[in-house]
């Protein structure tokens, strides 16, 4: 018996010896895991050219420098609210590089908050005959171009130019900006929860819509939107717009524009701008509807009208969307029967649903993710909740449904404080193929173009060693998953590649 015990002790020691690792084996396994992760993120399969390798060194040197400084100082822009971090971002070398980099398309924007507020205030609010008043119902500022506006009632209408002359113009313009923007110096106190910030959001939309409600002003505004995107090296723009919004043909008598008048306007300005700017790939419109207080009664006829308009304007209208604060709005399942039926009559009608813009799990809101995919969406707006739904995640991959990630929008609207914790960081690391980066209502948080969201993605959502391959893949995705089709998509890709080569040559010396 004693010998048996001794044998068992010896055998156990042998087994421990066999199972134990040497430091060399441990390091080899560690390196293998890290290498697999380094080759599994979005874009990691791209092969860089010699020129791109040269530029990548410049880019990553700047990235490592900023990350190392932030790690030591615990002062990292993506971890702070954008309203507080914006000056530091603008001073960033990485941001300056990204601004000059071609970024393809911006596929998730809204016409009521797409042009920088500096331009809006300087070029629209200084127009003659602009009136303003504070609505008695909600104390929100609205504008009018009519000499004697009738809506809303009981408003004390004032001439903007005369009011500006009474005070310091700088102070007055700051006052106007407070109604056009969510910007505040204390965002966490002012907007302690999602409902509070959305209340301000809707008021701001109301103000901006009243300001651009005449065709001459709207023309300058949309032209400037495309100009600012092109200046930010964005070559394609897709705008969500409410077709039934009230626009006037002029700012004197306010003859109302019909739906086709509005679509003709967008078609003309897109054609004119693209002709004047050959690097621009064009403008697409996603016709939208609010899910807030939606009684659904006219939804089938509205949906059919979108299908008709898409046939009339095939190179302009991308498809349709249902948008607005999801937690308090009508859920996609309520629209399902009509959406499924409309595909029989309009099989080419595409859907770009806002879905999963929420922190809840298992509620009706985040189930919009599942419904959006089942209803045939081409892209999901935000898709913030998708990582909580592995089945939907896999369905999106299998059906090639893209997710429009809007990092700054998610932060400003209080879904996430520290962008390093954004769920899209998991999608990037796991090579979710259909990711695109977009700016949403960029002007409302004092931004411009798409570069701020690209910066936050590259520095905050992405890992330290994720490099040019990620940025290039995101840019290519924005064309691949756009509403462009056939020759238009091929031509846009060629324009992007030409801009990409010019961009690289501006940073590196020629390769022999």
Max mean pLDDT range (1-10, 48-57, 136-145): 48-57
**What's the Cα-to-Cα distance from 417 to each of 66, 197, 454, rounded to whole Å?**
20, 14, 17
Q: For residue 388, give the nearest of 369, 375, 407 by alpha carbon.
A: 369
Say which residues have a Cβ less than 8 Å from residue 84's Cβ, sequence separation at least 6: 187
Provide the β-strand partners of residue 131.
144, 159
Determine which of 36-40, 310-314, 404-408 has the lowest per-residue pLDDT on average.
36-40
- Structure tokens that stand for 129 in this block: 């005959």
- Structure tokens that stand for 226 in this block: 């495309």
Confidence band for 409, pLDDT divided at 50, 70 and 90 = very high
Higher pLDDT pick, 5 / 96 = 96
Task: State the average pLDDT over residues 98-107.
Answer: 98
pLDDT at position 511 over 50: no
55 — phi, psi (to 5°)? -65, -40
Query: One of 52, 66, 228, 357 is an active-site residue; which one?
Result: 357
Higher pLDDT pick, 72 / 249 = 72
Per cent of the chain over pLDDT 90 is: 83
How far out from the chain centre does Cα 63 lie?
A: 23
What is the per-residue pLDDT for 73? 87
What is the per-residue pLDDT for 1? 57
- Structure tokens that stand for 94 in this block: 């990485």
Q: Which CATH superfamily is domain 86-115+193-502 in?
A: Metal-dependent hydrolases (3.20.20.140)
pLDDT at position 13 over 70: no
Are the C-beta atoms of residues 409 and 441 closer than 8 Å to each other?
yes
Higher pLDDT pick, 5 / 419 = 419
Mean pLDDT for the chain overall: 93
- Is residue 382 part of the annotated active site? The answer reads yes
**What's the Cα-to-Cα distance from 353 to each of 174, 207, 285, 286, rounded to whole Å?**
35, 25, 14, 10
Start and end residues for every CATH 3.20.20.140 domain found in the chain: 86-115+193-502
Task: State the average pLDDT over residues 62-70.
Answer: 97
Confidence band for 279, pLDDT divided at 50, 70 and 90 = very high
Confidence band for 9, pLDDT divided at 50, 70 and 90 = low
Confidence band for 507, pLDDT divided at 50, 70 and 90 = confident
Higher pLDDT pick, 175 / 507 = 175
- Tell me how far apart the alpha carbons of residues 331 and 222 are, in angstroms, rounded to a whole number: 31
Own/partner long-range contacts of 181-186 (Cβ < 8 Å, ≥24 apart) = 181/117, 181/443, 181/444, 181/445, 181/446, 182/412, 182/444, 182/445, 183/83, 183/445, 183/446, 184/83, 185/83
Count of beta carbons in the 10 Å neighbourhood of residue 10: 10
Determine which of 47-56, 239-248, 352-361, 410-419 has the lowest per-residue pLDDT on average.
239-248
475 — phi, psi (to 5°)? -65, -45
pLDDT at position 8 over 70: no
What is the per-residue pLDDT for 12? 62
Q: Is 74 left (phi over 0), alpha (psi -120 to 50) or beta?
A: left
What is the per-residue pLDDT for 385? 97
Task: State the average pLDDT over residues 158-163.
Answer: 95
Task: State the average pLDDT over residues 377-382.
Answer: 98
- Tell me how far apart the alpha carbons of residues 400 and 343 are, in angstroms, rounded to a whole number: 19
pLDDT at position 252 over 80: no
- Structure tokens that stand for 483 in this block: 């509403």
Task: State the average pLDDT over residues 197-214.
Answer: 95
Collapsed DSSP state (helix, strand, coil) of residue 78: helix
Q: For residue 267, give the nearest of 201, 202, 219, 203 by alpha carbon.
A: 219
- Is residue 357 part of the annotated active site? The answer reads yes
- Structure tokens that stand for 259 in this block: 């739906």
- Tell me how far apart the alpha carbons of residues 250 and 125 are, in angstroms, rounded to a whole number: 16
- Tell me how far apart the alpha carbons of residues 233 and 115 are, in angstroms, rounded to a whole number: 15
Are the C-beta atoms of residues 112 and 441 closer than 8 Å to each other?
yes
What is the per-residue pLDDT for 7? 58
- Tell me how far apart the alpha carbons of residues 247 and 257 are, in angstroms, rounded to a whole number: 6
Q: What is the largest CA-CA distance in the chain?
A: 109
What is the per-residue pLDDT for 38? 81
pLDDT at position 164 over 70: yes
Are the C-beta atoms of residues 373 and 400 closer than 8 Å to each other?
no
For tokens 């524009």, what's the residue? 257
Are the C-beta atoms of residues 343 and 312 closer than 8 Å to each other?
no
What is the per-residue pLDDT for 156? 87
What is the per-residue pLDDT for 512? 43
Confidence band for 245, pLDDT divided at 50, 70 and 90 = confident
Which H or E run includes 441?
A: none
Are the C-beta atoms of residues 377 and 340 closer than 8 Å to each other?
no
Q: Is 146 left (phi over 0), alpha (psi -120 to 50) or beta?
A: beta
Q: For residue 339, give the nearest of 365, 294, 311, 304 by alpha carbon.
A: 304
Task: State the average pLDDT over residues 162-166.
Answer: 96
Confidence band for 250, pLDDT divided at 50, 70 and 90 = confident
Say which residues have a Cβ less than 8 Å from residue 115's Cβ, sequence separation at least 6: 221, 224, 225, 228, 443
Q: For residue 103, give the nearest of 434, 473, 405, 465 by alpha carbon.
A: 473
pLDDT at position 6 over 70: no
Query: One of 110, 354, 382, 389 is an active-site residue; which one?
Result: 382
**What's the Cα-to-Cα distance from 218 to each of 204, 215, 244, 259, 480, rounded to whole Å?**
17, 5, 15, 15, 29
User: How many residues does the structure list for the chain?
Assistant: 512
Are the C-beta atoms of residues 79 and 410 closer than 8 Å to each other?
no
Q: List pLDDT tens digits, range 447-492.
A: 999 999 999 999 999 999 999 999 999 999 999 999 999 999 999 9
Confidence band for 121, pLDDT divided at 50, 70 and 90 = very high
Collapsed DSSP state (helix, strand, coil) of residue 254: coil
What is the per-residue pLDDT for 152? 73
């Amino acid at each position: 018996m004693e010998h048996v015990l001794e044998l068992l002790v010896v055998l156990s020691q042998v087994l421990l010896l066999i199972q134990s690792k040497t430091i060399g084996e441990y390091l080899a396994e560690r390196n293998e895991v890290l290498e697999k992760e380094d080759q599994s993120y979005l874009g990691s399969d791209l092969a860089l050219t010699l020129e791109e390798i040269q530029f990548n060194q410049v880019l990553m040197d700047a990235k490592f420098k900023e990350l190392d400084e932030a790690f030591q100082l615990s002062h990292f822009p993506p971890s702070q609210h954008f309203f507080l971090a914006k000056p530091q971002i603008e001073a960033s070398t990485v941001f300056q590089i990204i601004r000059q980099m071609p970024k393809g398309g911006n596929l998730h924007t809204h016409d009521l908050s797409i042009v920088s507020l500096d331009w809006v205030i300087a070029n629209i609010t200084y127009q003659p005959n602009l009136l303003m008043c504070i609505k008695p119902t909600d104390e929100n500022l609205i504008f009018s171009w009519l000499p004697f506006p009738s809506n809303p009632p009981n408003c004390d209408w004032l001439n903007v130019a005369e009011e500006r002359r009474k005070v310091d113009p700088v102070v007055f313009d700051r006052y106007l900006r407070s109604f056009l923007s969510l910007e505040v110096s204390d965002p966490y106190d002012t907007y302690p929860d999602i409902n509070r910030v959305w209340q301000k959001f809707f008021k701001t939309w109301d103000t901006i819509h009243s300001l651009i409600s005449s065709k001459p002003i709207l023309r300058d505004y949309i032209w400037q939107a495309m100009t600012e995107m092109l200046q930010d090296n964005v070559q394609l723009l897709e705008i969500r717009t409410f077709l039934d919004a009230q626009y006037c043909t002029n700012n004197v008598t306010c003859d109302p524009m019909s739906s086709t008048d509005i679509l003709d306007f967008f078609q003309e300005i897109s054609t004119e701008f693209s002709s004047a700017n050959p690097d621009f790939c064009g403008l697409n419109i996603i016709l939208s509807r609010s899910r807030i207080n939606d009684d659904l009664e006219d939804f089938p006829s509205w949906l059919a009208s979108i299908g008709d308009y898409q046939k009339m304007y095939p190179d302009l209208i991308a498809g349709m969307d249902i948008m607005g604060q999801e937690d308090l709005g009508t859920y996609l399942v309520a629209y399902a029967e009509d959406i499924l039926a409309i595909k029989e009559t309009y099989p080419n009608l595409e859907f770009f649903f806002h879905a999963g813009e929420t922190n809840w799990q298992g509620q009706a809101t985040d189930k919009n993710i599942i419904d959006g995919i089942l209803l045939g969406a081409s892209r999901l707006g935000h898709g913030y909740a998708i990582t909580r739904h592995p089945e939907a995640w896999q369905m999106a991959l299998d059906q090639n449904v893209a997710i429009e990630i809007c990092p700054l929008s998610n932060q400003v609207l209080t879904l996430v404080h520290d962008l390093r914790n954004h769920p899209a960081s998991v999608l990037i690391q796991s090579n979710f193929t259909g990711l695109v980066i977009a700016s949403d209502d960029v002007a409302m948080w004092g931004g411009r173009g798409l570069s701020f969201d690209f910066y936050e993605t590259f520095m905050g959502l992405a890992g330290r060693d994720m490099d040019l391959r990620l940025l290039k893949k995101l840019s290519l995705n924005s064309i691949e998953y756009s509403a462009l089709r056939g020759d238009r998509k091929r031509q846009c890709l060629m324009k992007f590649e030409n801009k990409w080569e010019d961009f690289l040559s501006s940073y590196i010396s020629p390769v022999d």
